[in-house]
Structures are given as C-alpha cells and as structure tokens.
Amino acid sequence: MATGFTLVLGFLGAASAFFAILLRLTQHPKEPQVIAKTIPFISPLFGFVHGMQNFLVSLRDRYNLPIYTMRMPGQRVYVVNSLSLIPQVQKQIKTIAFAPIEVQAADAVMGVGPAGNAVIGSERMFEHDSYLSTFVPSTQPALSPGPGLDSLNGAAIRQIYNAMKTVAESGPTTIELFAWVRHEFFMATTEAIYGPKNPFRDPKLEQAWYDFEPSIIVHMLKAWPSLLARKGLHAREQLLIPAFERYFAENGHLQGSVLVQCRYKHNTGHGLRGRDLAATEVGQMVASLANSIPAVFWLVYHIFSDPAVLSGCREEAEQLVQADGDVDLAKVKTACPVLLSTWQETLRYIHIGIAARVVMEDVILDNQYLLKKGATVMYVAPVQHTDPSLWAPTVGIFNHRRFLRTPGAKRAHNPAAFRAFGGGSVLCPGRHFVTTEAMSFATLMLLRFDVKPAARGGKWVNPRKSVPMTTLVPTPKDAVQVRITPKENQEYHARFSASKKGFDLVAEDITAGNSAV
Ligand code: HEM
C-alpha cells in the first residue's frame, strides 16, 4: 500500500516537473504572465470546472494583473482584466476575432448545413461585404432607435398588456415566478418578431425551445449531442427548424416584424435557402431570448423583493397613468430613471458573461504583450462589474440608484465599465429593444399586481443561481413561489407611441449621442 502511494506521488511529481519544463519551453517571455500554474496545464482546469467566473474574479484579486495567460492542455487563454486594455482588443477585429466563434455557432448550435456554412464561414468572412460583416448592420432598421424598433416594441408591449390583463381578471393566484416570466416574455418577444404566423403559438414548439436551450453548450463543444443532448437535438431537428421552414415557405415573415424581414433579406441576399435559412433563426432565438428572459426575471425579483426598490419604481410607474387611464409606455425611456437604473444595476449585479475571441495571427497588444495565433482571448464581465476601483467600495451591494445621474454632475462611474451589452465591434444590437421591453414588463406588473412570497407570512429568499456556460445571465436554481394579487385601482389601457429615442446604456450610446435620457 505504502509502495503504491509512493509510486503515485512519484508519478505526480514527475508529471508536474515535466509540465513545468514544457511550460517554460513553450511560453514566450513577451506573452502575458502565466498564472494558475501550481500544476501546470491542470490547475486552471480545476478552477474552470468549479465555477469559471468566480475563479477568474479570484485570480484578479490575487494577482492584480492587467492581462495574464492560463495554459491548459492544447489551449492558451489570455484573460484581459484591465478596462483600458479592452478597447485595444476590441479594435483588432480581424486579428482578435469574434467571427470564428460565430461560424462555429452556426454549424454546431444552429445546425446550419454545408451550403449555408460555406457562406457564413467563407474565407471572405472579414471582408466588409461578407455575410458576417453585414449581419448586424442589416438589422439596424429594426433594432436602432426609429420606427422599426418602435413597432417591434409596440407589438411586444401589446402582448404583455393583454397577457397581464387576462391574469388579473382571473383574480389572485400563486405562480412560480421564473416559469411565469419566462412564458410571458417568450410569447411577447416571439409574437413581436414573428407576427400572426408566430410558430410558437403552438405550445409544443415553446416546449421544444425549452428542451433545446439547455443543450446549447453540448452542441457548441460538439460533445456528442446525439448521445448527450438527444432531447435538445430532437427538438432542433424535428420541431424548431421544420417550423421555421414552414414559416418562411408560407411567407409568414411578410406579416412579421421589420426585424425578421431584415434577417430574411440578409440571408437570402447571401444565398441562404430552405433549411439553412430556417436554422439561422435558431441562432436569432438564442440571441433574443437566452439572456433576456433571466434578466427580466431578476429585474422583477429585485423590484418586488425589496420595499425601497418597489416604492421607487412603482412611484414612477404610477406617474405614467393619465387621468383617463392612458399609459404610454414609450415614456419609460424618459420618465423612469429609477427603473432604468434598477435595470442596469440588475445587469451589473447578475451578469456572468465571458466574451471570447480567437487570435488569428501573432499580434502585439498595447505595444508590449505578445498574443499567439490560435489562443483564446477572454474578457469577463464579472471581473469589471465587481471591481471597487471602477464602482466604489459598495460594488458588492445591489444599489438600484447606482446609475442615476444628477443633472449637470459628472458621472459617478466610467460608462465603459458597464459591460452587460459588450462593446466595440461586438456590441449587442438588441439592447434598446430588450431594455424597453423589460422596463415595460416591469411597469405593467407594478401597475397591475402586488407580488408576495406564497408561503403565509413568508419572506423573500434569494434563489440560488444556476450558471449555464452559454448564457450571460444566470437562471434561478430554486423555485420562487409567489402570490400575485391584482391591484384594485383604476382601469388603464397601455399603448406605445412612436418616439425614435433610445437609451444611454453603454459608452457607445453616450458617444453617439442618440439617447433620450
Ligand atoms: C438582457 C438581454 C441581453 C443581454 C444581456 C445581451 C448581451 C449581449 C452581449 C454581452 C453581446 C456581446 C457578446 C460578445 O462580446 O461576445 C451581445 C451580442 C449580441 N446580441 Fe445581445 N444581449 C441581450 C439581448 C439581445 C436581444 C434582445 C437581441 C436581438 C433582438 C440580441 C442580439 C445580439 C446579437 C445579434 C449579438 C451579436 C452581435 C455581433 O455579432 O456583433 N441581444 N449581446
């Protein structure tokens, strides 16, 4: 026994020494400093498995480096901590690129076939007129502030208003909060995007989406989905893609939003047809729903579980109601600064997003760091979102008024520190859409319902968080049972007027000066 133990120790020691030598031989002195190398190549794997985001935040606290290297078997990862280095990474669109990740997602997650992948992943992908370079600009008429976005938001809000009215009319009821928010927000968003031929009016397809979503990581890593994600694969192949094929074949998009029409035009303009065209909608669903739904859940949770947040946000919501019961939800953009700040603080507080890029050729960053071809570069929102030097020592506390501005006064924090919607060339184009939708959802709930924990005399208990590797926002791990009681106040009717305004959400909005508040 003692001999066996000694042998194992001896083996581990020899392996560790071998890895240390290998590390020294293969690491260039100009690359960022290597850390997490107690057992070279292996230590970072343990850290990643035990919660990637917490591990990376702990490495920031321990080493306080602007950028560092982690070596894993077959992989180099450079993690950028310093806010001032992020724009330098973002600038190098072709050499530190997002495109290869999109190509992999199209093939592995969306299930686009060979003909479509040849277009999306073409060698010309970095050219200005390629499929990938033109995708986000092609959706601008629908997602940038203007009439297309107004009609998209207007349709979502109509759906939310009607759904809440129906719930209110059936009297007090007990619900599981996440499941309820998920269904209502899912239906509002898909109705707004796809219009009267929305495939998700069929509950089997809504369920197919919930079956597919948890399997995204297995698809992305190509980790034998036919074995490890059978349900998700079946949902995508047998239900979701065929439903989108029928939708386009029946010209459903012609009755849908400007957004789905822009996507159709972009796809067909680049030669995508039939099943491939339908499969790209799976990717659009991931982008529009995977983060939005949990984010709205946490917004609602933070509002109703804290009396101070509740009263601040409800006061603003009630001020939107006119004497005749008219509520114009476009006004959430200009007249609800506390609610907007609560939304931003929710995103700052819960975001777990990791942005990954691929180094396409050896490159020198900031005139000093060598980044080697084939490596992955990451920046990690929780690293910036929990940095006291960027947000003040109160960074760990949820402060729903953190983003409020005193007119004329300097901003309390650097807007670039808010990473919830990314930045630079990979900036979320859906941020104005989802912000208006989320704030309207919260406003309509505030006007319609009282929400309390379901257990008699029950207290709000923070649900634990489940951290899926492919979304930027965690979902709650525990059920949150609540009693929702319709408020007995005047009847009102919601509408959404054209406003052409957006929000000052991220540094880029402020620089562009296209916001309303
Ligand atoms: C709260 C909800 C949302 C959050 C937190 C969020 C966050 C983000 C972030 C951080 C990125 C950049 C990813 C990276 O740097 O790797 C991104 C990209 C993107 N988002 Fe969102 N997003 C949300 C909602 C939406 C919605 C509603 C849509 C569409 C209607 C959307 C469409 C996209 C697209 C298409 C990209 C890729 C942009 C590109 O290729 O340049 N997102 N989002």
* Residues shown for the chain: 517
Nearest Cα to 131, choosing from 152, 102, 89? 102
d(CA 153, CA 142): 10
Ligand 1 center to 225 CA (angstroms): 25
Ligand 1 center to 60 CA (angstroms): 25
Residues whose CB is less than 8 angstroms from the CB of residue 335 and which lie 6 or more positions away in sequence, other chains included: 316, 319, 320
295 CA closest ligand 1 atom index: 1
List the structure tokens of 80. Answer: 């950028």
Nearest Cα to 395, choosing from 423, 422, 421, 418? 418
d(CA 273, CA 88): 38
Nearest Cα to 123, choosing from 99, 106, 107, 101? 99
CA atoms within 13 A on the CB side of 205: 19
Ligand 1 center to 418 CA (angstroms): 14
d(CA 201, CA 182): 15
CA dihedral 205, 208, 209, 212 (to 10 degrees): -160
d(CA 279, CA 262): 16
Ligand 1 contact, 434 CB (< 6 A): yes
ipTM for the predicted complex comes to: 0.99
pLDDT score recorded for residue 206 = 98
pLDDT score recorded for residue 516 = 39
pLDDT score recorded for residue 396 = 96
Q: Which fold has domain 114-353+386-512?
A: Cytochrome p450 (1.10.630)
Probe ligand 1: pick from 428, 439, 440, 475, max atoms within 8 Å of CB?
428
Task: Look at ligand 1, atom 43, and give the residue with the nearest C-alpha.
Answer: 428
Ligand 1 contact, 421 CB (< 6 A): yes
Ligand 1 center to 421 CA (angstroms): 6
381 CA closest ligand 1 atom index: 10
By three-state DSSP, how is residue 194 classified? helix
Ligand 1 contact, 353 CB (< 6 A): yes
Q: Which residue has the tokens 């929702």?
A: 484
Put residue 468 in one of left, alpha, beta given phi > 0 → left and psi -120 to 50 → alpha. Answer: beta
Ligand 1 center to 135 CA (angstroms): 13
355 CA closest ligand 1 atom index: 16
Provide the residue ranges of all domains of the chain, joining segments of one domain with +. Answer: 114-353+386-512
pLDDT score recorded for residue 517 = 35
Ligand 1 contact, 391 CB (< 6 A): no
d(CA 211, CA 47): 29
By three-state DSSP, how is residue 77 classified? strand
In angstroms and rounded to an integer, the radius of gyration of the C-alpha atoms of the chain is 24
By three-state DSSP, how is residue 39 classified? coil
Ligand 1 center to 21 CA (angstroms): 41
259 CA closest ligand 1 atom index: 30
Residues of the chain with pLDDT under 50: 516-517
Which alpha helices (DSSP H) does 27-172 contain, by range? 43-49, 52-63, 86-91, 99-104, 114-120, 131-138, 140-143, 147-169
Strands 96-97 and 354-359, sheet pairing: antiparallel
Residues whose CB is less than 8 angstroms from the CB of residue 207 and which lie 6 or more positions away in sequence, other chains included: none
Ligand 1 center to 145 CA (angstroms): 16
List the structure tokens of 437. Answer: 């939708």
pLDDT score recorded for residue 1 = 52
Ligand 1 contact, 283 CB (< 6 A): no
- What are the start-end ranges of the E strands in 152-283? 173-176
Q: Which residue has the tokens 């520190």?
A: 417
